[in-house]
Every structure is written in C-alpha cells, then in structure tokens.
A and B are shown apart, each in its own frame.
Chain A
Amino acid sequence: MASYLRILLIAILIASIGILTIYSSTYQKGTKLWQQQILWVVSGMFAFFIMSNFNYRRLWDVTYFLYGFVLILLLLVSLLGVVRLGAQRWLKFGGFNFQPSELVKLIIVIFLSRYFSKKSVDDVALLSGRLGIFRGLILPFIFVAIPVWLIIEQPDLGSGAMVLFIFFAMFYLAGVKLRYIFIFSLIIILSLPLFWQILRDYQKERLLVFLNPNIDPLGAGYTLIQSKIAIGSGGFLGKGWLAGTQSQLHFLPESHTDFIFATLAEQWGFWGSAILLSLYYLLIREGFLIAQRTSDYFGRLLALGISLMLGIQVFINIAMTMGLMPVVGIPLPLMSYGGSSLVMTFISLGILVNIDKRRAVF
C-alpha cells in the first residue's frame, strides 16, 4: 500500500478515536465540541491534500520569510493574545482561536532542515560536517532561542521545552560533530539552576508535584492523581464506552484536551491504549521510513524533524498523564480537542507525504 494511504488512514483512524473520546467526555454537558472537532478534522484533511501536492522544496525558498512571519505572530500573541486558563497563547481569528506556537514547531523544523542542508541537486552532502562551532552550534541555537523564549513567556513551558528537544534531536541527526552536542548538553545542564529561577511559581509547583503528587492532592496534584486513577482503573479490558467514571463524573480535569489519553485508557483499558500507542508508533515509523528512502538531505531532515516532532509530543503527553513527566500543556496530536494542533499535524503529515512523492526526483 502506498505510503501516503497508510499515513492518511492511520491519521484518520486516530482522529476518529479522538472524536469518539471527546464525545464520551463532553456529551453530558450538551456542548457540541465533538462536532467542532469533526469540522477541524475535515479542514485538516483538506490541508493534508493541499500540502501533499505542494512541492516541499518551495519551503526552502520561503524559510526565512516563514521564520519572520512566525516571530511576528508570537509578538502579536504577547500583545493582543487571548488569555485562557491563565495563559496567553491564542490569537482570535474571526471566531477561531489559533495557537501560533503550534505553527512555530513546524517552522523551526523547516528552518533547521534548511540550515543544515545545501540547496543543490548535485551536492546533497551534509553541510554540517564542515561547520565550526559558531556556525554549527551557537548560531542555530540563537535562531531557535528567540521564538522559544517568546513561547516560554506566554507562558507555555511545554511547547518551549519541546522545541528545544526537537532542536537537540535534529542537531544530532544533522550530523553535527558529537563534541558540539556534548558541549551543548553541558551548557544546558549547567544553566538549569538559572532556569529554575526564571520559572514562574506555578511551574515550579508543577515540577515539585510531578515528583510527588501527594504534596498537594487537592490542588496541583489533583489532576495527576485523578489521571493515574483513570488510567489504572481501566484494567485490562477497560470500563467500557461511556462508562468511565473518572471522565463521565468529571473527576478528571481537561479530559477532552490534554488528558484525553487518560479518558481513553479508562474506557478501553490496556488493550485499547496499547492499540492507540501502536497506531502512533506506526505513523511515526512511517515518517522515519520516508526519511530513510529519500536522498535529498533537506527532505530527509524535514521528514525526520516532522516525525520527531510528532513522536516527542505523543511521548510527552502520554508520559504526563501517567505521571512520568511533569504536567505541561501539550496536546495529544490528532486526538486532543483543538483546531490548531490538529490542522498543523495534518499539514505536517502532508509535507511528509510530499517528500515521499518526490524522492524519485533525486
């Protein structure tokens, strides 16, 4: 089966599971969130088809423009942004709330892919092997750090950290000399205490609570405890469709957004959540396979970056619901309720498909 069909099918499957889960956790309130999500999925599929036919090499040309555009968007958010849940992350666009940080992730991936590859049909060899420390490490870091800083200021520590993560991984994949990576890690570790000071109180609380949720069982630890209860009480077979007490009786907060995985795990148990994880794994693996198949280095880095982006996000979100990572506001791609993330994911998948389509060119 053609790769793009596989990707499309898996994505739609996951998105449908997402809609069903959103339904299960919100139908009682009478809100039409799940119908909204269907609209988003349809729009996403549209975007997917558009991007899968859009020559991804054109992205190379417009990289810097995109970078600038995203910076402006981020600045706009900090000036005009809609405040929701104590964070200023959204821009209002005629009835829709759009979260630029989702776009930023993709743009950074594109940016780094271009930075570390060379535009030439003939010379597709890696550029980065010959880069010195300034051009190999510090410069790209600065380029990435600016939007990351803006994101963290929103505050959205989760997305910011994720972008750094992606940077790190792409850095590695781009073939930069190992000692640069080593130096980079060292710098990060040494600057952690400084980092701690910069954190806001609630973010510090989240980290402490992550280490021991029972410090504040009715406050910061509540969500985490309820999430664990939800996941654990699913058992092997789950409690059954629409029968998850944690989500139905609203013990679990954010059950249709950040903690949607726990909602699913409660209703479908181990077998259901394992299937979902396998679906995600297949999707990401598909991305990596595409990266391996193409000989265009820009395309390869792009494919790797997109797959990584998805993989890291899935991992962080699920780990967070199980208490393996501190609570950060990262949605589960294709499942969590929210248009920005959904459409961006479909766009990224579209780019993946296009990379695969064009690999024969090289």
Chain B
Amino acid sequence: MIRIKIIIFTITCVFLFLVLNLFYFEVVKGNKFKELSNKNCIRILPQEGGRGRIIDRQGIVIVGNELCYDVLIMSSDAKQLDKTLMNASRVLGTDFKNLKNTFKGSLTASSIPMALAKNIDLKKAIALEELKPDLNGIIIQPRPQRGYPYGRLACHVLGYLNEIDRWRLTKLADYGYKTKDIVGFGGLEEKYDYYLRQEEGGLSMEVDHRGRFVRTLGFRPPKSGKDIQLTLDVKIQKIVEENLSGKVGCVVIMEPYSGQIIALASWPNFNPSAFVTKSNSSIYDFLNNPEAPLINRAISAAYPAGSVFKLVVATAALETGKINLSTTFLCTGSINVGKQKFSCWDTHHEENLRDAITHSCNVFFYRTGLLLGAQAIHDYAVKLGLSRGTSVDLPYEESGFLPHPLWRKIYRFKNWLEGDTVNLSIGQGELLVTPLQIARMMAIFANRGRLVTPYIVKTIAGQDVSNYQKKIITLPIKMSTIDSIREDLRNVVADPSGTANVLSTLSVPVSGKTGTAQAPPGQPHAWFIGFFPFKSPKFVICVFLEHGGSGYRATLLAKQIIETMIQEGIL
C-alpha cells in the first residue's frame, strides 16, 4: 500500500515539476520567447523619406530629391529563386551569374530583403513591375536620391553627402544617427544635417516559415527632412561662377545692411553628384587634386591681405587722431627703417589720405603705421572684425591671424621691430585674413559703420531663422571717418589715376579698393573689394584670386561680373 502512496506522491511531484517549468517558460521567460517568435515571423521593409531640399532666395530648388528605383529581393525557396533571377537578369541586362553572385554575396539574413540592383532605369523598373507575377519575391522599391539640377553650382556652400564615418557617429549616436546613415560633409549639408535629415518609415509584414508574405502588420509613413531656404541668388551665383571658372580663387557677394550672402563661389570646384552616384574615379580625383577643389577658399583658407588692409590703418589713424584729412607724406618710392628698405610700387610725390588710398601708396601707410604703432593697428583691425571668425553659418571657417607685439614676445621669443609694423601697415607679414572677413569689413564702409554677421540660411521649414544670428553691432567709429573713407573708396574708381579706374566705365557707380598681396615664392594674390551702387549700396563684393597676379586682375573680374549683372537687369 505504501508503495502506491509513494508512486502517487511521485506523480504529483512530477506534474508540479511540469507546471513549474511551464511557469518558468511562459511567465518568467515569456517576453524573451515572445521576441523570438516575433523574430521568426515579422519582417521589416524600410522606406526612406526624402532629404530636405535646399532652395535659393527666389524659391528655385538648388538641391532636391529625385526618385530612383532599386530592385530588392525577398529570399524564399531556392527553386523559385533561380527562375526569378533568370527573368530579372534578362530585363536588367546583366549576366545571370553576376546577379546570382550579388545575391549570394549580400545574403546576410534570410529575413531582410536585399538589394539586387540599385538605381536602375525607369524603363527597366516598369518592365520588371509588369513581370511581377513571374518574378517571385522581387520588390521594386522607389527611393529618393539627392539630385543636383544645377550640377556644380554653389557646391562649396552646399557640401556633399556620404555615409557617416566613425568619428561623427560617436558624437551623434545620441541624436539618432546610425551606421550607414547618409550625412552631409562640408557646407550646409553638414551644418544643417540635423534638419535636412529624413526619417525612415516602413512596412512591417508577417511571413510564414518559408519566408512567404502572409499579411501586412503595419505601416509607418516615412517623413521628409526640412527644406532650407537660402539668401543665395542662383542667377547671380551663376554669373559669378561662369566668370570665375578657370581662375583659382573665390568671390563673395554680400548684402551690406543685413549680412545676407548673395553669392559665394570658390574655384576649383567639385561635382557633388559624384558622391551620390558613387563614381569612384571622380571622387578620387577630387580628393587627390593638389589644388584642393573641396576647400571653400572664401572661408576655409586664410591669405595675406595686402593693400586692402590699408583701410584698417586709415581708420585707425583717423580715429586716434594720428593723422587728419590733410596730413601728407612724401612718397619717393621707398623708405628706410633702420637698415631695411621698404619700397612702394610707384613714386607718388606728396600724398594725402585720399590720394594714398586712390593710388594705394605704400609709403604713406608705412609712415602712418609707424605713427600708430602695431598695437593700435591690431586693436582697430579686431574692431573691424578681423582675427576672428565671422560666425557665418557654414562649417570649417578659419579665423585668420593678426600679429601683435605681445604675441611676438610670447610665442616667438622675439621683440617686435618697427619693420614688422611697416609690413603690417600694408597688410603683409604674418597677417592672414579670409575673403569673407574682408567682405564684412568692406560692408562697414558700405553700411556706414555697422558690423554685420554674414549668413546664408534664411528659413528652415518655412520658419525664419535670421533672428538667431548675432546682432548687428554699431561700431564706435566717427561718422566723419567713415564718410571720408567712403569717398576715398569712390575715388579709387572715379579718379583716372585710381587703381580701380577700369570700373568707371560701368553704368553703376562702384567704389572699392584693390590689393596685391606678396606671396613668395609664387605670384602675388589679387584682391578687389568694393560696394555698389555708391550712394545706397546693394552689394558688397570681394574678389580674390590665389596667386592671381596683380590686383588689376581681380578688378577686371569684378568688372566682368558687375557688367553681366547690369546686363541681366539685376542692378
């Protein structure tokens, strides 16, 4: 009898054991198994939204999205597969073996649909779609792709797209960036990538044990990125780029009162769609070209300023009262400071400030600079916006460099000598500026004493963002100084002996300053900065030609540009 009892007890224990195990499986580990069972039967077909477009100030789309078609295949049973690939290869025009290899090569998990061919012709896509009943498991997936209807136009401002790299990924992972995301590099695509980015959506579907589609479980619509409207004007940008093409350098055209950038071009340039279509040879050329086509010379490169820096010296001298409008110096072609001879490019005789600016006389400014002293020059240069970045909304801006006595003492363990002051007065020496900084400086004279912050982006997704820029600062410079220098700048063009006299033939009154910055061992850099029309300026222009020769070249280019603008009726 007792044995029966033992057996009954054993059986009860056994059943309890089973129930406990059930509890463990279903309740304790239930979620894990639920996940596994979902993994078995749920597949996700992702769908991309469109990246935000970039539009110019008139509403013309500079960078948009085009629809391109990929061929995806949902791997299912092997017999069907060969037949499917055979049919597909006939339509696509590729070898069956190649297709099979691509398929085998990218077969990661049998759960995800994989790409057989990317970016196929519309006609082929339609053909494949028509053959759908014969092609088991093939999906034609339309996908938005970056399109550049204007080709290379404003490529430096825009930037290009590529797969995210590890450095960026580590910084941005918290913002929702994942591996294999496409992000912008350089330009606005990089700076505003967070807004331009699209959100992925997709289809989630249920499949059976053979991977065959059973039903749709859910759909999340993809979201497009936000559009960005620029202050750039495509018409003017085109004019600028056409004229700049072939000459190494850059051109900036800015609106003097608000700081809006109308045109910004740098040459040599590159083609951003090469990165989209992944044309490796072009990309290789761009990256390895010694002339650095990917660099935006307007902001990412700093150069010696040359004669355009004389405006800083003039302002400083007038403000501090070291000279006045009637002060004169005699230019005999050179001066001696200590044992060193510093020459002027011509013999100018007696020059006052107006003459010195008109003729760009070095000697006048040597003497003025010596009167001022390097520290004063430095301080006024900083006031006028040099030696630091302009806070423009483009990445990789250089801040240039302004030497001064203290710096020389601390970093070079040398004393500042008068010869250095002399060099500095005409914008040579260790001085480095970016063309955009110079353009901003010119704007001070154009808008009568205000330091603006240049910007390119006007609205994001329709919302005006210009309020978020830095406020315009009214500089503590006497209006008389400003007006006087303004007149001098007008004289540079109007006076027959002015260095920019070629511009006087234009129907619009232009004012400006030329510059020839020595840059041994190569040719000197050519500068022209100016604003027009004189009385109420609409544009500030800065033309810079790297190793372009004398400032005359830059002036000529400016003339061509302005001429074309007049022709097109912009002015």
**B33 engages A228 (CB within 8 Å):** yes
Inter-chain contacts of A281 with B (CB < 8 A): 11-12, 15
Residue of B nearest to A226 (CB): B40
Residue of A nearest to B26 (CB): A270
The number of chain B residues touching the other chain, given as a range, is 20 to 34
* Those of B544-566 within 8 Å (CB) of chain A: none
Residue of B nearest to A300 (CB): B4
> Cβ of B18 < 8 Å from any Cβ of A?
yes
> Among the listed stretches A45-53, A73-81, A246-254, which one makes contact with chain B, having 4 or more residues with CB under 8 Å of it?
A246-254
**A277 engages B22 (CB within 8 Å):** yes
**B3 engages A175 (CB within 8 Å):** yes
**B3 engages A233 (CB within 8 Å):** no
**B37 engages A245 (CB within 8 Å):** yes
Inter-chain contacts of A269 with B (CB < 8 A): 26
Known: A235-B26, A315-B14, A322-B22. A304 touches B7 (CB 8 A): yes
* Those of B6-55 within 8 Å (CB) of chain A: 7-8, 11-12, 14-15, 18-19, 21-23, 25-27, 29-34, 36-38, 40-41
> Cβ of A59 < 8 Å from any Cβ of B?
no
> Cβ of B207 < 8 Å from any Cβ of A?
yes
**B34 engages A291 (CB within 8 Å):** no
Q: How far is B77's CA from A339's CA once the two chains are assembled, in angstroms? A: 34
Q: How far is B3's CA from A273's CA once the two chains are assembled, in angstroms? A: 30
* Those of A53-79 within 8 Å (CB) of chain B: none
**A284 engages B11 (CB within 8 Å):** yes
* Those of A270-288 within 8 Å (CB) of chain B: 270, 273-274, 277, 280-281, 284-285, 288
**A173 engages B4 (CB within 8 Å):** yes
Q: How far is B364's CA from A136's CA once the two chains are assembled, in angstroms? A: 132
Inter-chain contacts of A165 with B (CB < 8 A): none
Q: How far is B206's CA from A291's CA once the two chains are assembled, in angstroms? A: 52
Report the minimal beta-carbon distance from B29 to chain A, rounded to whole angstroms: 5
Q: How far is B4's CA from A249's CA once the two chains are assembled, in angstroms? A: 45
Inter-chain contacts of B166 with A (CB < 8 A): none
Q: Which of A173, A245, A274 contacts B19 (CB 8 A)?
A: A274
> Cβ of B214 < 8 Å from any Cβ of A?
yes
Inter-chain contacts of B34 with A (CB < 8 A): 232-233, 235
**A315 engages B18 (CB within 8 Å):** yes
**B30 engages A249 (CB within 8 Å):** no
Inter-chain contacts of A266 with B (CB < 8 A): 37
**B11 engages A234 (CB within 8 Å):** no
Q: Which of B8, B15, B41 contacts A245 (CB 8 A)?
A: B41
* Those of A285-341 within 8 Å (CB) of chain B: 285, 288, 291-292, 304, 308, 311, 315, 318-319, 322, 324
Residue of B nearest to A234 (CB): B26
Inter-chain contacts of A233 with B (CB < 8 A): 30, 33-34, 36-38
**A232 engages B25 (CB within 8 Å):** yes
What DSSP secondary structure best describes chain B's contact surface? helix
* Those of A194-250 within 8 Å (CB) of chain B: 226, 228-236, 245-246, 249-250
**A273 engages B36 (CB within 8 Å):** no
Known: A229-B36, A250-B208. A236 touches B26 (CB 8 A): yes
**B27 engages A229 (CB within 8 Å):** no
**A228 engages B7 (CB within 8 Å):** no
Q: How far is B205's CA from A79's CA once the two chains are assembled, in angstroms? A: 50
Q: How far is B18's CA from A274's CA once the two chains are assembled, in angstroms? A: 9
Known: A172-B3, A249-B40, A322-B25. A229 touches B33 (CB 8 A): yes
Q: How far is B177's CA from A307's CA once the two chains are assembled, in angstroms? A: 63
**B40 engages A229 (CB within 8 Å):** yes
Inter-chain contacts of A311 with B (CB < 8 A): 11, 14
* Those of A134-174 within 8 Å (CB) of chain B: 169, 172-173
Report the minimal beta-carbon distance from A6 to chain B, rounded to whole angstroms: 17
> Cβ of A343 < 8 Å from any Cβ of B?
no
Inter-chain contacts of A273 with B (CB < 8 A): 22, 26
> Cβ of A22 < 8 Å from any Cβ of B?
no
Q: How far is B14's CA from A324's CA once the two chains are assembled, in angstroms? A: 12
**In the complex, how many residue pairs between chain A and chain B have their CB atoms under 8 Å apart?**
112
**B33 engages A232 (CB within 8 Å):** yes
Q: How far is B32's CA from A139's CA once the two chains are assembled, in angstroms? A: 51
**A231 engages B40 (CB within 8 Å):** no
> Cβ of A265 < 8 Å from any Cβ of B?
yes
Known: A173-B7, A270-B22, A285-B8. A234 touches B40 (CB 8 A): no
Q: Which of A232, A246, A304 contacts B4 (CB 8 A)?
A: A304
Q: How far is B57's CA from A2's CA once the two chains are assembled, in angstroms? A: 93
Q: How far is B210's CA from A249's CA once the two chains are assembled, in angstroms? A: 9
> Cβ of B209 < 8 Å from any Cβ of A?
yes
Q: Which of B7, B11, B25, B38 contacts A172 (CB 8 A)?
A: B7
**A277 engages B15 (CB within 8 Å):** yes
Inter-chain contacts of B11 with A (CB < 8 A): 281, 284-285, 288, 311
Q: How far is B19's CA from A292's CA once the two chains are assembled, in angstroms? A: 26
Report the minimal beta-carbon distance from B204 to chain A, rounded to whole angstroms: 13
Q: Which of A234, A250, A318 contacts B209 (CB 8 A)?
A: A250
Report the minimal beta-carbon distance from B379 to chain A, rounded to whole angstroms: 75
Report the minimal beta-carbon distance from B110 to chain A, rounded to whole angstroms: 11
Report the minimal beta-carbon distance from B569 to chain A, rounded to whole angstroms: 69
**A288 engages B8 (CB within 8 Å):** yes
Inter-chain contacts of B32 with A (CB < 8 A): 232
Residue of B nearest to A266 (CB): B37
**A249 engages B208 (CB within 8 Å):** yes
Inter-chain contacts of A291 with B (CB < 8 A): 4
Inter-chain contacts of B214 with A (CB < 8 A): 249
Q: How far is B15's CA from A280's CA once the two chains are assembled, in angstroms? A: 9
Q: How far is B11's CA from A281's CA once the two chains are assembled, in angstroms? A: 9
**A249 engages B36 (CB within 8 Å):** no
Residue of A nearest to B32 (CB): A232
* Those of B212-239 within 8 Å (CB) of chain A: 214
Report the minimal beta-carbon distance from B13 to chain A, rounded to whole angstroms: 11
Chain B residues close to A by CB (< 8 Å): 1, 3-4, 7-8, 11-12, 14-15, 18-19, 21-23, 25-27, 29-34, 36-38, 40-41, 206-210, 214
Q: List 24 A-B contacts (CB under 8 A).
A: A172-B3, A228-B33, A232-B29, A232-B30, A232-B36, A233-B34, A233-B37, A235-B30, A235-B34, A245-B41, A250-B208, A250-B209, A250-B210, A251-B208, A251-B209, A270-B22, A270-B27, A273-B26, A284-B11, A288-B8, A288-B11, A311-B14, A322-B18, A322-B21
Beyond A172-B7, A249-B208, A324-B21: 16 further Cβ-contacts under 8 Å?
A: A173-B3, A229-B33, A229-B36, A231-B22, A233-B37, A234-B30, A235-B27, A245-B37, A249-B41, A249-B209, A251-B208, A270-B23, A277-B15, A291-B4, A319-B18, A322-B21
